[in-house]
Amino acid sequence: MKWRRLILFKKGLTVMFGVVLVLIFAACSESTSNEGSTGADGESEGKIHIVTTIAQIGEPLSIIGGEHVEVKSLMGPSIDPHMYNATQGDISTLDGADMIFYNGLDLEANMVKIFNQIGQNKPVLAIGETLSEDQLLEEELGVIDPHIWFDIDLWKQALESAVEEMKLFAPEHADVFEENSQRYFEELDTLQEDAQHKLSEIPVEKRYLITAHDAFGYFGEKFDIEVVGLQGLSTEDEVGVSDINDTIALIKEYGVPAIFVESSVPRERIESVIEGAASSGLEVEVGGELYSDAMGEDGTEEGTYLGMYRYNVDTIYEALAGGAE
């Protein structure tokens, strides 16, 4: 039985704002040259200036690009990309970039018009949209799940599309980009093998991952875990009383030992489930905080894609398997 629910993304409220930002960008473009971008201190001179939306893209590309790139991600820790609207500062940052990469698949729905405008003048790529449709999870009403970074195989393919664009932009560094990407992808393969081994030890009857919103569909498919999102694919989706009651019924039926909050989603949504369960005499705990739409703080292990993924695996394992060896 599929427990993931979906309500279509709500875009209408931000259309006018997006149009205004596009006009601002157009004005900036007339007065700003993108060629030969340099930092105020000159240290970034000669580097490729890459801007990404989410750090899940930016951090790996900074490793793959090495000394030849300078990467900035617009959305930091605890930022929800579903709800994000570009600021005027973001427009200036995008205007000064040599290349721009975003996830696509409606993750950054409020910024699509801006990317379409910018893409007329420089390389702009939605890396998630380079995957074939049969690789993507499609929910009710034909909406695609954009959280592809939770399937490491898919994420490698998406990142590879960005690397190919980098090679085209700077063919003189193509060999370096290729060597670095292959080394990084080997680390991803090792991470996936470790995750598969660890999560396979969770008893079948405890393989229920209950979170604030439906961000872990690809993760669940990869590791045979049933995912229950209190909200749909977007954090804009509303949570009704029936959603809470259905989740409590699931917890009771299968004896789910823990549910999870997310770093970029308010805790209140999960706490409402815990309170509702308690009122019916059912005790359920928070198994920990997972990184879903955003990674951790810069300079921490969870601020890297590898570290974020590994942290989630360990947190889920400890809560659902009880640390069983």
Parse the chain into domains and list their residue ranges: 12-194, 201-321
Q: Are 34 and 130 in contact (CB under 8 A)?
A: no
Is the backbone of residue 144 left (phi > 0), alpha (psi -120 to 50) or beta? Answer: beta
Q: What are 66-75's contacts with CB under 8 Å, separation 24+?
A: 66/176, 66/180, 68/170, 68/173, 68/176, 68/177, 69/166, 70/39, 70/44, 72/97, 75/294
CA 112, CA 13: separation in Å to the nearest integer? 14
201-321, CATH topology level: Rossmann fold (3.40.50)
Mean pLDDT of 284-293: 92
Q: Residue 284 in 3-state DSSP?
A: coil
Mean pLDDT of the chain: 85
| Residues 47-62: tens digit of each pLDDT | 999 999 999 999 999 9
Looking at 14-23, 144-153, 240-249, which range is the least confident one?
14-23
Q: How confident is the model at residue 4 (pLDDT cuts 50, 70, 90)?
A: very low
Query: Which one is predicted more confidently, 236 or 101?
Result: 101
| Residues 222-273: tens digit of each pLDDT | 999 999 888 766 655 566 777 888 888 888 888 888 999 998 887 877 888 8
CA distances from 71 to 45, 56, 200, 299 (A): 13, 12, 36, 15
pTM for the structure as a whole: 0.85
Whether 35 has a pLDDT exceeding 60, the answer reads: no
Tokens 């993108």, residue? 34
Strands (E) in the chain, as ranges, are 48-54, 69-75, 99-102, 124-126, 208-211, 226-229, 258-262, 285-290
CA distances from 146 to 3, 25, 60, 155 (A): 18, 26, 18, 11
pLDDT on residue 120:
96
Whether 169 has a pLDDT exceeding 90, the answer reads: yes
Cα torsion for 95, 97, 99, 103, to the nearest 10°?
-70
pLDDT on residue 36:
40
Whether 202 has a pLDDT exceeding 80, the answer reads: yes
12-194, CATH topology level: Rossmann fold (3.40.50)
Q: How confident is the model at residue 213 (pLDDT cuts 50, 70, 90)?
A: confident
CA 34, CA 274: separation in Å to the nearest integer? 51
Q: Are 190 and 196 in contact (CB under 8 A)?
A: no
Whether 74 has a pLDDT exceeding 50, the answer reads: yes
Mean pLDDT of 123-139: 96
CA 99, CA 93: separation in Å to the nearest integer? 11
For residue 290, the one-letter residue type is L
pLDDT on residue 234:
61
